[in-house]
Amino acid sequence: MMNKLTAEFIGTFWLVLGGCGSAMLAANIGSGADVLSIGYLGVSLAFGLTVLTGAYALGHISGGHFNPAVSLGLWAGGRFDAKDLGGYIGAQVLGGLAGAAVLYLIVSGQDGFSSVGSFASNGYGEHSPHGYNMMAALVTEIVMTFMFLIVILGATHKNASPGFGGMAIGLALTLIHLISIPVTNTSVNPARSTSQAIFAGGENLSQLWLFWVAPILGAIIAGFVYKMMAPNTDN
């Protein structure tokens, strides 16, 4: 179990470092003719690539969840033992916090640094990238996490093509970010949201509840739905 928890810690660390790091360090560089930013497309790819690479590197050790909502969705789908949920979720949250701490050390080393700002945190209303309200954020996070778990459960089903699960999951997360960054800055992952909100503080922290409730709700619904569609999901 310690090996599995370590893998979940490292995988979530990598997701936050790579995904949130791209948003904080490379998404908005320069202006006018000097723009070097990767934009929403680049950030979306970065999140997808962290999960894709993490799944192939660590999936054979822990299953490659890197996300409390994924662990709970897999439990609902009959793929994960409830007794391991606490350990996995704890390791994921700690891994996310470690990734955010590294990002803080990097960001605070920039000349003229005064504040971390939003720190790539998730939010709605004033803290939505394009001003979407709480209901829009709630619907977005539930639906996107639902579809993420449907892809995960399908791509890792015993009857799915072997070896391609990580690719499908990584590309699904990329697509999810392309759709939902403007709405919430995309969570679908409570550990990722927690790590950034803690460093950003203030209103970002007070809105964190939505980015636990919505992804978990979407994931659990997906787990039960997929189990109903494809009941032989024991491996």
Q: Position of tokens 């990329």?
A: 174
pLDDT of amino acid 29: 63
Helix or strand (DSSP H, E) at 219: helix 210-229
pLDDT of amino acid 143: 98
Cβ burial of 206 (10 Å; 0-12, 13-18, 19+) is exposed
- The predicted model scores a pTM of 0.92
Fold designation for 2-229: Glycerol uptake facilitator protein (1.20.1080)
Cα gap 26→152, rounded to integer Å? 28
pLDDT of amino acid 30: 53
Closest CA to 70 of 185, 225, 216, 174: 216
pLDDT of amino acid 232: 65
What is the DSSP code string of 128-187? STT---HHHHHHHHHHHHHHHHHHHHHHTSTTSPTT-HHHHHHHHHHHHHHHHHHHHS--
- Per domain, the residue ranges of the chain are 2-229
pLDDT along the chain (235 residues), means of 10: 97 97 81 67 96 96 97 96 97 98 94 85 96 98 98 92 91 97 97 96 94 98 94 56
Q: Position of tokens 């701490």?
A: 101
